[in-house]
Amino acid sequence: MTDGFKQERITRRQLLGAAASMGVVALGAGLLSGCSSRSGDSSSASSTLSAKQGEATSSSSSSSPSSSSAAPTQGTGKALVAVFSWSGNTLGVANRIVEDAQFELFRIEPAVAYTTDYNEMLQVAQDEQSQNAMPKIVGNVSNWDEYSTIYLGFPTWWGHLPQIVKSFLSEHDCAGKVVYPFNTHGGSGFASCLSDLAAACPNADVREGLSLMGDSVQSSTSQVDDWVKKNA
Ligand SMILES: Cc1cc2nc3c(=O)[nH]c(=O)nc-3n(C[C@H](O)[C@H](O)[C@H](O)COP(=O)(O)O)c2cc1C
């Protein structure tokens, strides 16, 4: 949807200014450094991963997760990749996980489409956060109980889990499930996303996550592959 490189540069500049005015010191520091030092975070890689390809293959959200073959099981049930991605970076990672492990994919999408304008999106996301809004999502995972493992993907938005991911979690109880978070960002890593996640699903078994710079997704296939291999 957007040029990742250009977007990350805009992100750093704009978010720094806004974060500073909001007193979000940690976020500002993360964006300034251009990379994250948080645990589970990484940005180097060596092969090719196409976020655009991901967008093309998974552009619609439906109540039935999509998969080219029967989903392998993890633990006592199946594994599902559920992802929210506004500009395609996190979706690129999600598609690689699906490719690697043949898991099913569910896209978390807003019932009322988000703006495609970057500056407007910054404001909308900030408003959603300050109001603790729970935007409605398109569809639900109808066979949710069949999944014992959820790979949950999202971008960092204003240092936090996007509100729409909280909406998804409020409608899909992760109690008793294993959750592997994966994330893309513009420099601040997971920031507060993991504590948001723990608060949103306190009875889930949240495992070590994978966090990548949004502009390095295309060159991070090996890291994604290693992470999937380690966990699947
Ligand atoms: C509304 C909004 C808020 C963002 N907030 C942050 C942030 O707090 N920290 C950060 O490092 N990047 C931030 N970014 C950059 C995104 O996390 C980054 O571009 C990510 O790779 C986008 O993933 P996506 O393409 O899957 O939507 C923000 C981007 C948007 C649109």
- Rounded to whole angstroms, the Cα distance separating 190 from 170 reads 20
Instruction: State the closest ligand 1 atom to the C-alpha of 159, by its place in the atom list counted from 1.
Output: 8
Pocket test for ligand 1, best of 43, 97, 109, 185 (most atoms within 8 A of CB): 185
Which residue lies with its CA nearest to atom 1 of ligand 1? 122
Percent of the chain with pLDDT over 70: 67
* Residue 78 tokens, joined: 């199946």
* Superfamily of structural domain 4-231: Flavodoxin domain (3.40.50.360)
Residue at token pair 């948001």:
196
Q: What is the tens place of the pLDDT at every residue in 8-21?
A: 444 444 454 444 33
Closest protein CA for atom 11 of ligand 1: 186
3-state secondary structure of 55: helix
Which atom number of ligand 1 is nearest to the Cα of residue 160?
8
Task: Return the residue whose CA atom lies nearest to atom 22 of ligand 1.
Answer: 155
**What are 74-133's pLDDT values in tens digits?**
556 899 999 999 999 999 999 999 999 999 999 999 999 999 999 999 999 999 999 999
One-letter amino acid at 13 equals R
Burial class (CB in 10 A: 0-12, 13-18, 19+), 205: middle
Alpha helices in the chain (DSSP H): 4-22, 25-33, 51-57, 89-101, 118-130, 163-171, 193-200, 221-231
